[in-house]
Amino acid sequence: MSPTPALSIITPCLNRAGLVTEAVESVRRQRYPAVEHIIMDGGSTDGTLEVLKRFPHLHVRSEPDKGLYDALNRGLRLASGEVVGFLNTDDLYEPDSLGDVAQMFSRQPEIDAVVGGATIFRDQPQGEKPLTVAAFPCIRPGELLRRATRGAPIFNAWFFRKRLFDTLGDFDDQYLYVADRDLLIRMALRQTAYACLDKPLYRYRMHAGSYTLSGQDSGEDAFMFESRALAERYLGRQDLPRRALRCFKIWHSQITSDHIVTAWHTKGYRRIGGYVLTGLRHNIGWPAVFAGKAWERLTGPAA
């Protein structure tokens, strides 16, 4: 058995004075000693840096960046651990997560990543237990491409050997929202070896200020348009296996279906025709996907 590896946790940060303490504490409470926690601050002005000074063990770098994924790339260059994980300022690691992850890497030196499960929670009024909104199981081998596209990729429940980025490359910082999905898609297409840890590792907080988990209808949010652009980028490739091509077609069709449903609800009827043409242009079978997606939105997802 290999020695347990050192871990680097990278947290991108900008004006999170009210939340960052909980994220830091969720790392500090882990019963695993070989951890460095790197905070990549983009130039906070709300007192975040003063909060972080209470934790001398942190490696804090405060400098302008080009956004979330540029901050993650900069953090990767600073990380000294063999394994890296990514923690948002508004989220938490479950207790003992890092030790379990390190043991998995130690037992399986051939793997380049480990993924666990994740939950989404919402804070309740003071004194009440946080409400669990959703739970997602770990992504088992063979499921990655589907979950990285039309499923829940639970990116922050992933941990990666740092050497993997030498093969995959950095996060693509042209994106504001989906470079993490893109990274997992690249992993899936390269058939990267990874292991599934069948327990929750990560807790996402749903709140109004969340980057992607505000709890609002997102069918025409910038995140969805960027997701569509990513799907179209892969659909434009000529080297995709048939199974992967089908996966991207279904993903693109589901996104355009969400556009239409949201446009309908917001009385944006003039936009609907353009979405229909976009869906058909990339998948002639789009009407069937749209029918299923519309029914799901009306009745709720199947159990």
Phi/psi region, residue 230 (left: phi>0; alpha: psi -120 to 50; beta: rest), is alpha
Q: Cα separations (Å) of 108 from 103, 154, 160, 279?
A: 9, 22, 13, 42
Poorest-pLDDT segment among 7-11, 214-218, 220-224, 228-232: 214-218
User: Is the pLDDT confidence value at 1 over 80?
Assistant: no
Domain boundary among 205, 231, 259: 205
Confidence of residue 126 (pLDDT cuts 50, 70, 90): confident
Does 135 share its domain with 14? yes
Does 169 share its domain with 253? no
CA distance 207 to 183: 25
What residue numbers bound the domain in which 274 lies? 222-299
Confidence of residue 208 (pLDDT cuts 50, 70, 90): confident
Q: At what angle do helices 269-282 and 222-235 cross, to 10 degrees?
A: 20
Establish if 20 belongs to a structural domain.
yes
Confidence of residue 3 (pLDDT cuts 50, 70, 90): confident
pLDDT of residue 124: 87
Contacts of 210 (CB under 8 A, 6+ apart): 90
Domain count, the chain: 2
User: Is the pLDDT confidence value at 52 over 70?
Assistant: yes
CB-based burial, 78-110: b 16+ in 10 Å, e otherwise: ebebbbbbbbbbbbbbbeebbbbbbbbbeeeee
Establish if 58 belongs to a structural domain.
yes
Establish if 155 belongs to a structural domain.
yes
The helix (H) or strand (E) run that includes residue 231 is helix 222-235
Establish if 210 belongs to a structural domain.
no
Does 157 share its domain with 234? no
Does 178 share its domain with 230? no
Establish if 145 belongs to a structural domain.
yes
User: Is the pLDDT confidence value at 99 over 70?
Assistant: yes
Establish if 126 belongs to a structural domain.
yes
| Domain of residue 80, CATH code | 3.90.550.10
| 37 close to 71: Cβ distance less than 8 angstroms | no
Domain boundary among 163, 179, 205: 205
CB-based burial, 251-290: b 16+ in 10 Å, e otherwise: bbbbbbbbbbbbbeeeeeeeeeeebbebbeebbeebeebb
Establish if 215 belongs to a structural domain.
no
Does 51 share its domain with 146? yes
Q: Tens digit of pLDDT for each residue in 268-279?
A: 999 999 999 999
Domain boundary among 173, 205, 237: 205
CA distance 122 to 203: 10
